[in-house]
Structure 1
Amino acid sequence: MAPPRPTTGSDFAILSRRITGAGLMQRRPIYYVARLSVVSLMLIGGWTAFFLIGSSWWQLVTAAFLAVTFTQVALVAHDLAHRQVFRTKRPSEIAGRIAGNLGVGMSYGWWMDKHTRHHNNPNHDDLDPDVAPEVLIWATESALGRRGLKGFITRHQAALFFPLLTLLAIDLKVSSIKALRAGVVKHRKLESALLVLHAIGYLVALFTVLSPLQAIAFLLVHQALFGVYLGMTFAPNHKGMPHPTGAEDYLRKQVLTSRNVRGGWLTDAALGGLNYQIEHHLFPGMPAPNLRKAQPIVEAHCAEIGVAYVQTSLVTSYRQALGYLHEVSAPARAEHAARRAA
């Protein structure tokens, strides 16, 4: 995904010159060789352990390990989509399809289109697909009028947020298939073939090595934990932050809608650098290891121009996101109570 072209004023131009002058937009090939090697070894090691252990309930531990590994593969696909790894489009797309379609069973082309629209208009009620009213509701007006199961989920969405993440991996696969069937993904045949190859290899491995009950348990645990971990890497970034009006310039649109998560090297590794969400949104092509170095420069610049710069702990970020979900669903609870009283 090529970085969006901002129509900026002098505030972003000054910041951009500082970031470029510090060399933070330069590629980091050694870092990505090491990171891709580690993630590849995790993937190979996980599946090797799976075949060596054989039919055993200890395979649920393998499922948990592979859930972590799949998330790390997805985070690598994210960096590939932003051309943080390779400078040009072709190698980025080839590696992205291997990681996304073949590695974790998600359409790289579909996700890249969706993620590009998110970056261009983060938290915009009409233009950001990540806050579109689907299972969860992020705008108060969308919470009203929902009945049945959807209504129940909306009323209790804060409490159900983490349980619903167990379905995220399945949702990504279903959305990928829908996009491919609709013909909205480039290289549709190639991406479809890679997804089919992933599904066949995955299911054949499970039901050949494990007993039917063990295979089903492995699939459920693996996909559920994959969804939870993946969802937890993205949830702290924008949920509960302001929704833009459309009048903001590029810098303010990206900074005001994003939230950073404080932490050390473990947080950086676990979240794939997405804990520096403000810097990532301002400079989406910046290699992940440079985001930490860019953070104090961006924060200082925001202080100079009077733009709020939000940074919290990981736990606080989840608390804020859940609090926002609870607040947004309040009208739905009031509407439901009124219907029951009538």
Structure 2
Amino acid sequence: MTQKYADYRDVDQAQLQRDIDQIKETIGATNEVDFQHLLKLERWGRGSTLFGFFLLIVISILDATNFGIPSLIFWIVGVISAIFIGVGNVGRWANVTHPILHGAYDKVPNIPYRYTKDGYAAGSRRWIDWLDWIKPDAWAYEHNIMHHYHLGEDDDPDNVEKNLKWLHDAKIPMFMKYVTVYAFAAFWKLAYYAPNTLRILENKERARRKEEPTLDYQISPFTKNGLTLWKDYILPYGLFQFVLLPALFYPLGLEAVFSAFAIIVLGEFFANIHSFLVIVPNHSAEDIYQFSTPHKTQGEYYLRQIMGSVNYNTGTDLIDFAHGFLNYQVEHHLFPNMPHSFYQKMQPIVKEICKKHNLEYRQESVFKRILMTVDLMVGKTKVLRIEGI
């Protein structure tokens, strides 16, 4: 049974707004130090990817030459290679792409254009900055606008309970629902984010043309949106990652090509599991609030971000990097266009403000939160839906 929580109707939203707005003056302006922090996170992500492929190249060369290595050693090192490739993939998305596309570094003096919201992954730079199943401009709109400013509402495209209603209603045993969720986690970026971000972006254009929104994914390449999905989302990343990269191992023989393909696919699997682990639980569990109406004031907006978000354990840059800095989700949702480095400085201030206003500041292990999220996804628990706030 869903636990009942305080509804926070007596919170002084105007004072909460003043207290949170004061944080910006306390922290100060974004500067070169914050940009250098970003560059460090970028190096860690790139370094992880390069190290993963370095291991793959080394074992492939050894396996194809007279040196040879036992199959067990090959695949142990191959799995390690895949883990580093996966970590680099998530690091590129969460630690670099995420804040840049929010415009977090746009106000750094003399910031290179490629690190600004307008310049990052734009046009041909997508191949250099962030090549993934997701198209950058589609994800920026789905995430930065629709998710952040409709958190916990029906219009929130990442509303887990709403999106998984079909699974809640499915007439199958509960253990099969759990199996479905765990299987989905293995390829969720392709299955969910790619078509969903395209659908949300298309709905933006439909609204501009005063047309009805589309409710379904278009996957078939023989439909207009399905063709766009394949041409602009699936094929660029799919061909580069799973055709071109393995083909580079052809001089070592066909076996090396197939082994590289398997390890790169395994790296994609780890990236999906890792990103699912740190992204999905941020706003989905039985102690997370949903809302029936849009927010009406800035104070109410701030209150909803606190009520509708949860943090994970925080600490050093390495711990935060591993979480994609999504362990500061409360702070991020209060100020989405701030650098990651600000959230580390902001956290104790936000905790004090929550204490002052008698607001619950949720912060727990990501592993505990993923279990709570999966229970919500299969329909075992429900979120608390609140009216009038």
Which TM class, normalised by the smaller chain length? 0.7 to 0.9
Larger Rg: 2
Please name the residue that 1:61 is paired with: 80
Picking from 201, 211, 235, the partner of 2:240 is 201
Q: Identify the structure with the greater helix proportion.
A: 1
Q: Give the 3 Å change call, closer, same or farther, for CA 177–113 of structure 1 in structure 2.
A: closer
**What is the RMSD computed on CA atoms of the aligned residues?**
3.6
Matched position secondary structure for 2:50: helix
The whole-number CA distance in structure 2 between the counterparts of 1:231 and 1:267 is 17
Task: State whether structure 2 residue 315 is matched by structure 1 residue 295.
Answer: no
The whole-number CA distance in structure 1 between the counterparts of 2:119 and 2:89 is 18
Letter of the 1:206 partner, please give it.
P
Where does the alignment leave 5 or more consecutive residues of structure 1 unmatched? Answer: 1-7, 331-342
Letter of the 1:263 partner, please give it.
T
Picking from 116, 119, 124, the partner of 1:94 is 119
Task: State whether structure 2 residue 266 is matched by structure 1 residue 221.
Answer: yes
Structure 1 residues 273-282 or 193-202, which shifts more? 193-202
Identical-residue share of aligned pairs (%): 18
Q: How does 1:1-342 map to 2 (within 5 A)?
A: 9-17=14-22, 19-23=23-27, 26-27=30-31, 28-54=34-60, 57-58=74-75, 59-75=78-94, 76-87=96-107, 91-97=116-122, 98=125, 102-116=130-144, 117-124=146-153, 126-131=154-159, 136-137=164-165, 145-146=169-170, 151-152=171-172, 156-158=176-178, 160-171=180-191, 174-175=194-195, 196-202=235-241, 203-209=243-249, 211=255, 213-240=258-285, 241-246=288-293, 249-265=300-316, 266-328=318-380
**Deviation of 1:271 (Å):** 1.1
Letter of the 2:17 partner, please give it.
F
**Deviation of 1:25 (Å):** 5.1
Q: Give the 3 Å change call, closer, same or farther, for CA 143–15 of structure 1 in structure 2.
A: same
Letter of the 2:283 partner, please give it.
H
TM-score (norm 2): 0.68
Aligned residues: 310
**Deviation of 1:64 (Å):** 2.2
Question: Is contact 2:52-2:85 (8 Å) kept?
Answer: yes
Structure 1 residues 29-38 or 8-17, which shifts more? 8-17
Letter of the 2:19 partner, please give it.
I
> Once the two structures are superposed, what CA deviation does each residue of 1:105-143 show, in whole Å capped at 9, x if it has no partner?
42111111110211111122x111112668734xxxx65
The whole-number CA distance in structure 2 between the counterparts of 1:194 and 1:175 is 8
Letter of the 1:72 partner, please give it.
G
